[in-house]
Structure 1
């Protein structure tokens, strides 16, 4: 990354890992850099990291980044250009997992990936993932910050839901960013991650987009049947418990 970019960035690193790197030397070529090691064993996800950044940043805008997102200099340049003259509350890139655009997509269907969004301004029918998303500190403060309902999974859907609900403009920039999405590879998920992801998904649609709850249940039934046919009963048992609200 060019020094001209680094000198314009205030970086906040929130570490949910198992090793505390507080004593390590920090890069000196950013405008500022803050490292925080999370010692809260009860919450170790993106929500607590995003909330910390919201409270600590002195800037009007902040970008959310996961550690497995490959950001580009071009995207940062385009964000800087956009912030100079645009009346928006959020900016996001077009994010791809290999050849599939996973964000942003339509919010009016559970088959989101079939309806990717092109570059442009949106205030409805849009959702996406949070990594690479640039948010207005003013807007996020007005809505009370990041809800604790979603410690990790589906927090991004909630953010976009809030933006749509408040009729805020979301700018999609014509720049490709690459990110690995775990739900694209269900067979690689541990049982605990599977349960957490689909528990969050069901909770989100039940409480925030109930018009799609029937479609979610149909999807789960298909997954249950598919699992049974393959001799894998775990997804069926897990999804039935989620639908019935059992732990």
Structure 2
């Protein structure tokens, strides 16, 4: 009867015979496929909205069907920290070099006052506003050469300090971000259903150690809940089997 009604409906709607033979089960399957496709479209639309809001430089990956997960971008925490450390070290090295060079130049001008053979103006005013002078004393020429050597040495020392600070910044940021990256990977594994994802606790007594210990306690709690759930399911299954066996035994006794 239902098949005849379905065939008349299909004929009225102009559907082919293959679609008519699909029946109610096929329609339910088609509805599930449609809902899954619509959910996928909504996920893609949400991803596009998030990307339009500022995720332009980030990388995205798909870990589960129909689900987008954010992946670390190229401009991560480690690179940002290293860049900021380098900028701060560059500013400090440049400022120190400028102050040292200015102090040496001021001392050179103070020494030049005592030389008798000076052709020029008075040494008055701030050091950056004093006019150039012409000195014919050979001792001042030697002092000028020493000033150049000191300036050159200060510049090279500044470059070396900047290079060493860059290496130190890379090492420090690597040590700082390694536990965070390990924590992120462990959280992703925990989301996928893994339970044996305990992390090594850092030796330093800081916030990273506290967060790692809290994550390990969370994993232990989930393991206990999983074990309790398995025991409950096993007990329920055992009780159902025993009750079914007792019922079958009672039915056999009644039959006898």
> What band does the TM-score fall into relative to the shorter chain?
under 0.3
The one of the two structures with greater contact order (alpha-carbon pairs below 8 A, sep at least 6) is: 1
Question: TM-score, length-normalised on structure 1?
Answer: 0.22
Where is the strand percentage greater, Structure 1 or Structure 2? 1
Where is the helix percentage greater, Structure 1 or Structure 2? 2
